[in-house]
Structure 1
């Protein structure tokens, strides 16, 4: 699936509970892949209906409208960087898929399906936001740790010179405690 084809840095899925439109049951599944071999240049959308890929008229599909609204227009709310390598996979499974044309090229604008697609896309985007927030905080802790490791010996040397003592102050326990604390937080 997603892992073997795209080899993403982060991936997640959301499966909505069964719902119905006009008496026909359906299930919406959405997958998200970020980073890895996804490629850059914005959001890629892979659309499926009853496990059959929908290859044509992507812009007319309800899935594209939902993805454009949430993942492209409102990406700042989910802390998604510009030109982020992001792939969204949408799948609608139903006993009667609501295609708009006889060619079965794209899904019709059914409010029930749109609602479930929006909720599923929001769910995977929230998980991505959580991943990106954790990643940025880990990078900040690493930068801080590197700065302390680099400058604490220099500060100890200057402190020795200012105090006029011959021995270097023992700063290693303080540095070790900070490094252990930052490791425990991650």
Structure 2
């Protein structure tokens, strides 16, 4: 059993190397500056002040890397970049500038693969995941709206039903 756990740790490290190493190696110098600050858990506003650029430029640089790594949370990216710097994975093959790497299941971050295998359907991960999630939220919100309107209709009908029942009760003959 312990061998299986150790084997899983090795495969997780391998996934980390495959996914993040190539992306981090292919980043521009400006993106490396931003990610060095991000690895220190700084906010976009703090990074912008430190590098003397606009906050939107910082967000764009972070989002460009997030899109190539499967849109993990900022904290996950910061943690991965710290590991990248600490582990010395600088010798991996860089991604050529100006070309977007091919997107497939191998490009997903390790946390996304695990979530996709356990919880999420295939439509919720990948290049159209954001759009699919928004569509799912709209459908859920629409369903909640329909339930709320139906409930209001029932609540509005209750007084009229109570009045009819009272009239019907009055019309009943008295029992001897």
So what's the TM-score if we normalise by structure 2? 0.32
Higher Rg of the two aligned structures: 2
Higher strand share: 1
Q: Whose helix fraction is larger, Structure 1's or Structure 2's?
A: 2
